[in-house]
């Protein structure tokens, strides 16, 4: 989608620190990290949010969570623990309308989910 900043990152039109990529998924560092490890995992295909996920997207989701596990190991938070979250819509504070999963870790993340 033309105006989507995450589509522009995938296309290489906006710089990002890309740390993982496969046929389905791209992962890069969050520009405003909320934890020592804060990585965004996004599908290469534009989906507005988790609300657009269907049973057809099982392969995409398995790639996203598999990539999260690989990155958790790579960034040494697999043992200490981490959180994977997605914000959907206004009340959840979704600010970019391209489905993304936050991988957060490296500190005590507290009780709040997000």
Enumerate the active-site residues. 100
Which residue's CB is nearer to ligand AMP, number 32 or number 113? 32
> Residues 1-30 vs ligand AMP: string with x where CB under 6 A?
----x--------x-x-----------x-x
| Closest approach of ligand AMP to the CB of residue 16, in Å | 5
Sheet holding 101-105, edge to edge: 18-21, 25-29, 37-43, 101-105, 82-85
Residue 32 in contact with ligand AMP, rule: CB under 6 A: yes
């Amino acid at each position: 989608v033309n105006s989507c900043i995450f589509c522009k990152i995938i296309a290489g039109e906006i710089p990002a620190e890309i740390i993982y990529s496969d046929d389905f998924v791209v992962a890069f560092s969050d520009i405003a990290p909320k934890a020592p490890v804060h990585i965004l995992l996004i599908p290469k295909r534009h989906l507005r949010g988790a609300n657009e996920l269907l049973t057809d997207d099982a392969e995409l989701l398995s790639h996203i969570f598999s990539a999260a596990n690989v990155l958790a190991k790579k960034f040494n938070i697999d043992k200490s623990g981490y959180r994977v979250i997605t914000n959907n819509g206004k009340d959840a504070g979704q600010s970019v309308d391209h489905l993304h999963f936050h991988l957060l870790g490296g500190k005590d993340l507290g009780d709040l989910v997000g």
